[in-house]
């Protein structure tokens, strides 16, 4: 009699019970990659100039909140005169809010936009040729950054990332492609 009750309750549980909490993987789908991430990427912009990007972002559910810095330098000749004035020609500090989409368990697609502070070092075209260096004019502006990033997550703490990014601003619009690595803190 006892075994019949157990069998009937198991059959009833299988037919009408659905999933138990331990078997419910849908509730863990987006929580798996909730983390604080640090990333570093290298790439080129639309003018063929090398760019470096670094970022820190918090990923919660389907959203992420990011602070990203982008810097590029124009190629310079090997003369001593130009080496003294080396440094970033274009810098961009962005605050980005975006959505992320997880597919095939380890792949993520991130799409985001926000506001940025853009600094551009422009050469003074009116200065004549002399032994003194041409003074650089610093230009500052607010921009609109946009990014599309794909990441291949090996686990929760390490991933490869590939991104396409652009910034529309009055000083100097730019776009670029980059690849890098990202690390999760927790």
pLDDT tens for each residue of the chain, 186 residues long? 666 666 566 555 545 544 444 544 444 444 577 889 999 999 998 888 899 999 999 999 889 999 999 998 866 555 455 554 555 688 999 999 999 999 888 899 999 999 999 998 876 665 555 444 555 678 899 999 999 999 999 888 899 999 999 999 998 899 999 999 999 987
25 in a structural domain = no
| Residue closest to 29 by CA, chosen among 108, 136, 85 | 108
66 in a structural domain = yes
21 in a structural domain = no
Beta strands in the chain (DSSP E): 35-45, 50-60, 63-72, 90-103, 107-123, 136-153, 158-168, 174-184
126 in a structural domain = yes
Distance, in Å, from the CA atom of 163 to the CA atom of 145, rounded to the nearest integer, reads 13
14 in a structural domain = no
Task: State pLDDT tens for residues 25-55.
Answer: 444 444 577 889 999 999 998 888 899 999 9
What tokens were used for 175? Answer: 């776009």
Distance, in Å, from the CA atom of 65 to the CA atom of 59, rounded to the nearest integer, reads 7
Distance, in Å, from the CA atom of 179 to the CA atom of 88, rounded to the nearest integer, reads 20
* Residue 56 near residue 37 (C-beta atoms within 8 A): yes
Total domain count, the chain: 1
2 in a structural domain = no
Distances (CA, A) of 112 to 77, 89, 133, 148: 37, 25, 40, 7
98 in a structural domain = yes
Total-model pTM: 0.71
Range of the domain at 116: 30-184
Distances (CA, A) of 164 to 36, 104, 170: 21, 21, 20
For the chain, the distance separating the N- and C-terminal CA atoms, rounded to the nearest angstrom, is 52
CATH number at residue 135: 2.40.160.20
71 in a structural domain = yes
Q: Would you give the DSSP letter of residue 28? A: G
CA within 13 Å, CB half, 131: 0
């Amino acid at each position: 009699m006892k075994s019949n009750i157990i069998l009937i309750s198991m059959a009833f549980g299988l037919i009408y019970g659905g999933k138990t909490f331990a078997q419910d993987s849908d509730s863990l789908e987006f929580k798996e990659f909730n983390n604080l991430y640090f990333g570093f990427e290298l790439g080129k912009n639309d003018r063929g100039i090398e760019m470096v990007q670094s970022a820190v972002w918090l990923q919660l559910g389907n959203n992420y909140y990011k602070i990203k810095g982008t810097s590029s330098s124009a190629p310079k000749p090997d003369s001593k005169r130009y080496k003294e004035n080396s440094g970033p020609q274009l810098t961009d500090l962005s605050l980005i809010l975006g959505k992320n989409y997880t597919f095939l368990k380890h792949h993520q697609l991130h799409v985001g936009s926000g506001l940025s502070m853009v600094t551009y070092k422009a050469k003074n075209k009116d200065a004549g040729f002399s032994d003194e260096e041409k003074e650089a004019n610093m230009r500052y502006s607010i921009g609109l950054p946009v990014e599309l990033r794909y990441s291949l997550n090996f686990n929760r703490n390490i991933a490869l990332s590939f991104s396409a990014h652009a910034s529309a601003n009055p000083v100097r619009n730019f776009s670029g492609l980059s690849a890098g690595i990202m690390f999760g803190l927790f």
